[in-house]
């Protein structure tokens, strides 16, 4: 969480400072709230923007990052024991984004040096937890987590997803699958010039449930014991009612 705040503060500071080449960045999101309902199957957001006071397009790149709320993720390693695969070692990765989407005009390695990319946590290869609980190196666990969430569509990186509509206008379509976690997201747009960040903007995004689904979600998370008891009672009630009706028909 602290690292996210530092990155957001750095992006805000860069946005307020005059860039070395007088280039500046203006960006926005097509909607700042994604409402989750019972029939929600996923949607797409659009991040768009414009480069003000542009210089030569050569050497200029756009990187868009959408980062979800931080989470504690447990990764287990399976080992073969007596012919059976069982869970053995594990690691707890604390402060990893639950959703991560990155789009750029070119592959990241062609845009900036590895040190610059690590400084801004840009790219799946540069994601690291704020804290980790593990007996050994966390690198294998981080790679396994990135692969697993990538298969679920929660971790995405594309080096060609930024559409340049003109010399300065750009657009990025961001998929928001049905499995995204609820919470506060951060949309960050970086303007690179010759491998250096010259401007950046940060925009908040919220993913939340609405209506009856929201009330049920809140009830289940705030009062889990009461929720469990009520679901058991409802199952018993419906079971009794169905058996009573079928017995009468027989």
Amino acid 236: pLDDT:
77
For residues 230 and 76, give the distance between their C-alpha atoms in angstroms, rounded to a whole number.
Answer: 33
| Tens-place pLDDT, residues 170-215 | 999 999 998 898 899 999 999 999 999 999 999 999 988 775 565 6
Domain boundaries, the chain: 2-209, 211-250
Cβ proximity of 16 and 10 under 8 Å = no
| Tens-place pLDDT, residues 13-71 | 444 444 444 788 999 999 989 888 777 888 899 999 999 888 887 889 999 999 999 99
Tell me the Ramachandran region of residue 28: left when phi exceeds 0, alpha when psi lies from -120 to 50, beta otherwise: beta
Average pLDDT, the chain: 83
Nearest C-alpha neighbor of 77 from the set 64, 92, 97: 92
**Parallel, antiparallel or unpaired: strands 183-193 and 60-67:** antiparallel
Amino acid 219: pLDDT:
62
Tokens of 246: 């079928």
Q: Output the DSSP codes for 35-67.
A: EE-TT---EEEEEEEEEES---STTEEEEEEEE
Amino acid 44: pLDDT:
92
Of 16-25, 111-120, 148-157, 171-180, the one with minimum mean pLDDT is 16-25
pLDDT at 151 over 80: yes
**DSSP symbol at 162:** -
CATH number of 2-209: 2.60.40.3880, 3.40.50.720, 3.40.309.10, 3.40.30.10?
Answer: 2.60.40.3880
Question: HSE of 240 in the Cβ direction (CA atoms, 13 Å)?
Answer: 6
């Amino acid at each position: 969480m602290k690292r996210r705040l530092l990155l957001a503060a750095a992006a805000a500071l860069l946005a307020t400072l005059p860039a070395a080449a007088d280039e500046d960045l203006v960006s926005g999101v097509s909607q700042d709230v994604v409402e989750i309902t019972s029939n929600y199957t996923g949607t797409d957001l659009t991040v768009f923007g414009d480069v003000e006071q542009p210089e030569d397009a050569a050497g200029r790149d756009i990187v868009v990052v959408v980062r979800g709320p931080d989470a504690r993720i447990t990764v287990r390693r399976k080992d073969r024991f007596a012919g059976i695969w069982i869970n053995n070692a594990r690691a707890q990765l604390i402060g990893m984004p639950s959703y991560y989407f990155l789009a750029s005009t070119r592959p990241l390695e062609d845009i900036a040096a590895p040190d610059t990319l690590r400084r801004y946590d840009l790219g799946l290869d540069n994601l690291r937890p704020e804290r980790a609980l593990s007996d050994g190196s966390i690198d294998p666990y981080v790679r396994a987590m990135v692969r697993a969430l990538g298969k679920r569509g929660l971790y995405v990186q594309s080096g060609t997803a930024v559409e340049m509509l003109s010399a300065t206008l750009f657009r990025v379509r961001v998929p928001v699958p049905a499995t995204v976690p609820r919470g506060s997201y951060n949309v960050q747009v970086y303007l690179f010039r010759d491998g250096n960040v010259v401007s950046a903007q940060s925009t908040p995004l919220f993913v939340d449930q609405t209506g009856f689904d929201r009330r049920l979600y809140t009830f289940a998370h705030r009062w889990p014991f009461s929720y469990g008891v009520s679901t058991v009672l409802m199952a018993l009630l419906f079971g009794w009612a169905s058996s009573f009706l079928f017995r009468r028909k027989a």
